[in-house]
Amino acid sequence: KQEVTQIPAALSVPEGENLVLNCSFTDSAIYNLQWFRQDPGKGLTSLLLIQSSQREQTSGRLNASLDKSSGRSTLYIAASQPGDSATYLCAGEGGSEKLVFGKGTKLTVNP
Amino acid sequence: EAGVAQSPRYKIIEKRQSVAFWCNPISGHATLYWYQQILGQGPKLLIQFQNNGVVDDSQLPKDRFSAERLKGVDSTLKIQPAKLEDSAVYLCASSLGGQGDYEQYFGPGTRLTVT
């Protein structure tokens, strides 16, 4: 059974800092890895999707990487801004289109 | 392109009452998902539809939860009777579906409070 762990559970940084969020999964048979952002009281917004044949994806100040052999994914946020404050969730998909989520990392970027 | 629509956004009911949630996926998306997100947790899949057929409902508490997707478009999720532990956000998502690397797109969710 796939289990996804996100570390740290919460993170507070000053504006402008570069940061890394970590995601690990127990079953290396990951097909896709998707990172989401969730604002309080809102649904999930897809940030990046790393497909089975890829190792990383970039969008603006965000970069996500996937290492299936070690069972790890990281989300790198460059030059953080207060608007980046949210909960970030990673989810792995094992080929059945079923996503298994971590509990998320709550990020606070202080002005 | 319109996103995934859900209603209502909020619902408060007493335990043992029934409640229904509605979802309209992105046009053309064959796969539809219902997730339950308890406060402080990641979303957990309840049921997955491919067109109007159920692909996975292994985590759906079938004694009280039911879902349908008539005509392979919009879907309803029902809880009857509700329990206190059903208080959560119910998220609907959709994807193009089929074999391949398709992203899931989420609606805003319905926040259910059972008192």
Cβ of B97 and A41 within 8 Å?
no
Beta strands B44-50 and B53-56 are antiparallel
What element of type H or E holds A99?
strand A99-101
pLDDT tens digits, B5-23:
999 999 999 999 999 999 9
pLDDT block averages, 10 residues each, chain A of length 111:
91 97 87 92 91 91 93 96 97 83 96 95
Tokens 């053309």, residue?
Answer: B28
B25 at the A interface (CB within 8 A)?
no
A66 at the B interface (CB within 8 A)?
no
Average pLDDT over residues B18-29: 95
Among B45, B101, B108, whose Cβ lies nearest the Cβ of A98?
B45
A48 at the B interface (CB within 8 A)?
no
The answer to whether B84 touches B17, Cβ cutoff 8 Å, is no
B111 at the A interface (CB within 8 A)?
yes
